[in-house]
Amino acid sequence: MKVVLQLGLGLLLLATHYVPATSVPSPQCQKQCGDVEIHYPFGIGVNCSLEELFSVKCQVQDGISKPIFGENFELLNISLANSTVRVLNQIATYCYNDTSGDMDSHYWGIKSKNTPYRFSDIHNKFTVIGCNTIGYIGDEGSYLSGCVSTCGNLSDLTDGSCSGIGCCQTAIPRGMDNYKVNFNMVTNASQILRFSRCSYAVLVEAEAFNFSTAYITTNKFNDTNAGQVPMVIDWAIRNETSCEKAKRNETGTYACLSGNSECVNSANGPGYVCNCSKGFQGNPYLPDGCQDVNECNDGPCPLGGVCHNTVGGYRCSCRAGRKFSKQNKTCDPDTGLIIGVTVSFLVLVIFSSSGYMILQKRKLNKVKQEYFHQHGGLLLFEKMKSEKGLAFTVFTEVELIHATNNYDKSRIIGKGGHGTVYKGIVKDNMPVAIKRCALIDERQKKEFGQEMLILSQINHKNIVKLVGCCLEVEVPMLVYEFIPNGTLYELIHGKNQALQISFSTLLRIVHEAAEGLNFLHSYASPPILHGDVKTANILLDHNYMAKVSDFGASILAPSDEEQYVTMVQGTCGYLDPEYMQTCQLTDKSDVYSFGVILLEVLTGQVPLKLDGPEKHRSLSSNFLLAMKENNLDAVLESNIKGQESAELIRGLAELAKQCLDMCGGNRPSMKEIADELSRLRKLSLHPWVQLETEVETQSLLGGTSTASFEIEAATTGYPAQEGDNMPMNPRSSYYAR
Average pLDDT of 311-335?
A: 80
The continuous run of DSSP H or E covering 393 comes out as: strand 393-394
Distance CA 536, CA 495 (A): 12
621 and 478 in a common domain:
no
Rounded-to-integer distance, Cα 324 and Cα 315, Å: 9
Give me the chain's average pLDDT, please.
79
Least confident among 20-24, 88-92, 148-152, 404-408:
20-24
Q: Mean pLDDT highest for which of 290-299, 410-419, 448-457?
A: 290-299
Average pLDDT over residues 223-250: 88
Q: Domain check: are 209 and 261 in the same one?
A: no
What is the separation, in whole angstroms, between the first and last Cα of the chain? 100
- Residues 185 and 103 occupy one common structural domain: yes
Task: Indicate whether 737 belongs to any domain.
Answer: no
Residue 523 sits in the same domain as residue 579: yes
Q: Is the pLDDT of residue 612 over 80?
A: no
Q: Based on the domain organization, do 86 and 170 belong to the same domain?
A: yes
**Structure confidence at residue 385 as a pLDDT band (50, 70, 90):** low
**Lowest mean pLDDT: which of 65-74, 100-109, 240-249, 532-541?**
100-109
* 47 assigned to some structural domain: yes
With respect to residue 328, please indicate whether it lies within any of the assigned structural domains: no
Q: Does 191 or 415 have the greater pLDDT score?
A: 415
Decide if 265 is inside a domain.
yes
CATH number at residue 471: 3.30.200.20
pLDDT digits (tens, 9 = 90+) for 157-215: 999 999 999 999 999 999 999 999 999 876 666 666 677 788 999 999 999 999 999 99
Q: Concatenate the DSSP letters of all residues of 18-34 into one string.
A: -----PPPPTTSB-EET
Catalytic residues: 532
Residue 94 shares a structural domain with residue 197 = yes
Phi/psi for 641 (5° steps) reads: -60, -35
For residue 248, count other CB atoms closer than 10 A to its CB.
10
| Same domain membership, residue 140 and residue 79 | yes
Q: Which tens digits make up the pLDDT trace of 540-552? A: 998 999 999 877 6
Contacts of 6 (CB under 8 A, 6+ apart): 106, 107, 108
Residue 171 lies in a domain: yes
Note whether 87 and 148 are same-domain residues. yes
Which of 91, 170, 189 has its CA nearest to residue 132? 189
Cis, bond preceding 526 (omega within 30 deg of 0): yes
Task: Report residue 256's pLDDT band, with 50, 70 and 90 as the boundaries.
Answer: very high
The answer, yes or no, to whether residue 554 has pLDDT greater than 80, is no
Q: What is the pLDDT of residue 367?
A: 61
**Domain stop point among 441, 460, 482:** 482
- Predicted confidence at residue 299, as pLDDT, reads 81
Contact criterion met (CB below 8 Å) for 406 and 399:
no
Write the CB contacts of 688 (distance below 8 Å, at least 6 apart in sequence): none
- Quick one: pLDDT at residue 173? 94
Is the separation of the CB atoms in 415 and 715 below 8 Å? no
Q: Which range has the worst mean pLDDT, 26-35, 63-72, 97-106?
A: 97-106
Residue numbers of the domain that contains 15: 3-235
Averaged pLDDT, 667-678: 95
Same domain, 439 and 521: no
Residue-level pLDDT at 695:
31
pLDDT band at 721 (very low <50, low <70, confident <90, very high): very low
Round to whole Å and give the CA distance between 71 and 571. Answer: 99
Say if CB 600 and CB 619 are below 8 A apart.
yes
Which residue would you say has higher pLDDT here, 148 or 335? 148
| Residue 95 or 6, more confident | 95
- Whether the per-residue pLDDT at 275 is higher than 90: the answer is yes
Q: What is the pLDDT of residues 486-520, one digit of tens each?
A: 889 989 887 766 567 788 889 999 999 999 999 99
Share above pLDDT 70 across residues of the chain, in percent, rounded to a whole number: 77
Q: Are residues 230 and 264 in the same domain?
A: no
Listed in sequence order, the residues at least 6 apart from 482 whose beta carbon sits closer than 8 Å to its beta carbon are 423, 431, 432, 433, 718
Rounded Cα–Cα distance for residues 195 and 215 (Å): 11
pLDDT top residue among 514 and 558: 514
Name the least confident of 15-19, 223-227, 622-626, 637-641.
15-19
**pLDDT digit string (tens) for 567-594?**
567 788 889 898 888 888 899 999 999 9
Confidence tier at 526 by pLDDT (50, 70, 90): confident
Q: Domain boundary at 235, 266, 281, which? A: 235
Would you state the pLDDT for residue 265?
A: 95
Single residue among 441, 463, 482 that ends a domain in this structure: 482
Q: Give the pLDDT of residue 675.
A: 95
Mean pLDDT check: name the lowest of 194-203, 289-298, 675-684, 710-719.
710-719
CA pair distance 266, 115, nearest whole angstrom: 14
* 55/164 same-domain check: yes
pLDDT bin (cut points 50, 70, 90) of residue 117 is very high
Cα–Cα distance measured from residue 701 to residue 686, given in angstroms and rounded to the nearest whole number: 19
538 pLDDT higher than 70: yes
Helices 587-603 & 646-659, crossing angle to 10 degrees? 150
Domain count, the chain: 4
675 falls within a domain = yes
Residue 554 belongs to some domain of the structure: yes
Highest mean pLDDT among 482-491, 613-622, 678-687: 482-491
Whole-structure pTM value: 0.47
Q: Based on the domain organization, do 649 and 706 belong to the same domain?
A: yes
- Are the CB atoms for 114 and 17 separated by under 8 Å? yes
Could you tell me which residue, 305 or 688, shows the higher pLDDT? 305
Task: Identify the band that residue 734 occupies on the pLDDT scale cut at 50, 70 and 90.
Answer: very low
Q: Is the pLDDT of residue 531 over 60?
A: yes
Percentage with pLDDT > 90 across the chain:
36
Q: Which amino acid is at 259?
A: G
Q: What is the pLDDT of residue 694?
A: 37
Residue 314: per-residue pLDDT: 86
pLDDT at 322: 77
Look at residue 28 and tell me if it is in a domain.
yes
Residue 132 is predicted with a pLDDT of 85
pLDDT of 679 strictly over 60: yes
